[in-house]
Amino acid sequence: MSLQEIKIAGIAIAPGEEKQIDAQIAKLPSRTSIDIPIIISRAKKPGPTLLITGGMHGDEINGIEIVRRIISNKFHKPLIGTVICIPILNVYGFINFSRQTADGGKDINRSFPGTRHGSLASQLAYRLTQDILPLIDYGIDYHTGGARINNYPQIRAQMDDAKNLELAKAFSPKFMIHSPFREKSFRKEAAKKDKSILVFEGGESLRLRKHAIDEGVNGFLRVMKHLNMREEAPVANSEPLYIKKSSWIRAKSAGIYHSYCRTGEFVEKGTVIGLITGPYGEFEHKMKAPSSGYAIAINNVPVVNRGDALIHIGFVG
């Protein structure tokens, strides 16, 4: 709530200013600098500081596009407080079409709080922990389903935490999923410092999904309005559904998978939701829903092995 200037990478941003800071994080073996552009917009009036991040996993393009659209449409300009935007956190993964960093496939979101002289993933986590987390009050971390998993737009949060639950309701997605903290994750590290972070999941890796992008932008605007950082926001289509438990339906045989289900749909117990066929025409196995629930994610890989996760069913309770 302060009107004082803040500093990121040694550069000061005063109330009422907007700046892009190119924070140097490392160099490639060719000595080419790797910078992370950070866009900061501050109002003249004091208020909360909201962080939005995309591309923690470099192949999760929907999150990157959500943050880009927010900046492009100038939605990040607050009436009060500060908005910090990081469209691409994992530059290494982004330029290599990869989820991880370039040094042995490490995951930034399993590297917090990080270290100054550790792996590239650890260094990135360290910079976010040291330079950004102390400045913020709230955050939205935009993700996309990995490994061809298509997630229906959803918010994952610690629902037994009042502040996190309030923020999730403000975002107002179709699905709110109770998600306990994972070790060494950004969200858990932020919670240790009393910062409330939402995780948005929508679409699948390396593919833009308009519906997921629209929902990510609209949810951001609703959070901004909830925090009194803007006056208007799109009205949610319906009240969020609270998913307390979920489970994956797995392939009972290897073969070619044909899905009869779409993400977001409610499926009744016993409904045929897919077909697994033998590539030589030797069999067709129908897949039936073992219980009723919502399809919150679907695996779009057509060639499957026995035991592969195919449809993620969420149960409202």
Other CB atoms within a 10 A radius of the CB of residue 68 amount to 18
pLDDT surpassing 80 at residue 27: no
User: What is the sign, positive or negative, of the torsion defined by CA atoms of 214, 96, 120, 91?
Assistant: negative
pLDDT surpassing 90 at residue 7: yes
Nearest to 216 by CA among 143, 163, 147, 167: 143
Instruction: Give SS3 for 32.
Output: coil
Q: What is the mean pLDDT of the chain?
A: 94
Percent of the chain exceeding pLDDT 90 equals: 84
Report residue 153: phi and psi, to 5°.
-50, 125
**Domains of the chain (ranges plus CATH)?**
6-226 (3.40.630.10), 244-316 (2.40.50.100)
Mean pLDDT value of segment 74-86: 98
Q: What pLDDT digit, counting tens, does each position of 172-188 carry?
A: 999 999 998 899 999 99
Instruction: Give whole-number Cα distances, 152 to 46, 55, 109, in Å.
Output: 36, 18, 21
Judging by beta carbons within 10 Å of its beta carbon (0-12, 13-18, 19+), is residue 113 exposed, middle or buried? middle
Percent of the chain exceeding pLDDT 70 equals: 98
pLDDT surpassing 70 at residue 1: no
Q: Helix, strand, coil proportions of the chain in percent (round to 5)?
A: 20, 35, 40
Mean pLDDT value of segment 48-56: 97
**Which residue has 């909360």 as its token pair?**
48
**pLDDT tier, 3 (very low <50, low <70, confident <90, very high otherwise):** low
Determine the Cα–Cα distance for residues 164 and 159; give it in Å rounded to an integer. Answer: 6
CB 89 within 8 A of CB 128: yes
Q: Both tokens of residue 33?
A: 């600098």
Give pLDDT, residue 101.
86
**pLDDT tier, 25 (very low <50, low <70, confident <90, very high otherwise):** confident
pLDDT surpassing 80 at residue 317: no
Please state the pTM of the whole predicted model: 0.95
Instruction: Give SS3 for 291.
Output: coil
Judging by beta carbons within 10 Å of its beta carbon (0-12, 13-18, 19+), is residue 114 exposed, middle or buried? buried
Q: What pLDDT digit, counting tens, does each position of 190-205 carry?
A: 999 999 999 999 999 9
Residue type at 62 in one-letter notation: N
pLDDT surpassing 70 at residue 2: no
> 3-12, 234-243, 285-294: which has the minimum mean pLDDT?
3-12
Q: What pLDDT digit, counting tens, does each position of 119-156 carry?
A: 889 999 999 999 999 999 999 999 998 878 999 999 99
Instruction: Give whole-number Cα distances, 60 to 65, 98, 260, in Å.
Output: 9, 9, 25
Give pLDDT, residue 111.
93
Give pLDDT, residue 148.
84
